[in-house]
Amino acid sequence: MVWLLLPLSRPALASQTLPFPSTGALSSAANPRDYALVFFFRSDCPYCHSFAPKLQQLAAQTGSYTYAFSLDNQGIPGFEVPIPVTPDIASTFFEHPRDVTVPASFLINVNTRKFVRLTVGDVSQAQLQHSYLNSLNDPIVIASMQ
């Protein structure tokens, strides 16, 4: 078993938050403060450079901390000091760690270290927000991360 050690402190929720669906609030099982974003990228990936500001905007809107991992140990604007990807980290998040498609983002429960994939590729801001909100509102997804 591989454990990903992540600091437990996270910034307070930003004053601006995403508009949640009018059908109701987040599931009572999903406290957004229990989750963080995980971002995998390469410094030479133009799609990663395009996606990074979208992820930063989501993090700012939701107050989510972002763990940024670089496959080539180099930063990109907004994520200048990334966490290096070790073989253990790569195999934890990716089924085929030698063939990783980036950018890739995940939602991780900071208490259990269980995660779900949000996006792969340079998706739109709307797609990213939709994936994030759907993950936090899906009782099956939340249960899988408990």
The pTM of this model reads 0.80
β-bridge pairing 66-70 and 35-41: parallel
Q: What is the mean pLDDT of the chain?
A: 84
Bigger pLDDT: 128 vs 3 = 128
pLDDT digits (tens, 9 = 90+) for 87-118: 999 999 999 998 999 999 999 999 999 999 99
CA distance 3 to 81: 21
Residue found under tokens 């591989």: 2
> Coil, strand, or helix at residue 47?
helix
Average pLDDT for residues 59-78, to the nearest whole number?
96
Domains of the chain: which residue ranges? Answer: 32-144
According to the model, what pLDDT value does residue 9 have? 35
Q: Tell me: the pLDDT tens digits for 30-60? A: 777 899 999 999 999 999 999 999 999 999 9
Q: What's the CA gap between 6 and 36, in Å, rounded?
A: 10
The pLDDT value given to residue 96: 92
Q: Which stretch of 32-36, 64-68, 140-144 has the lowest confidence by average pLDDT?
A: 32-36
**Window from 20-24, 75-79, 100-104 with minimum mean pLDDT:** 20-24
Q: Which CATH superfamily is domain 32-144 in?
A: Glutaredoxin (3.40.30.10)
Over residues 107-130, the mean pLDDT reads 97
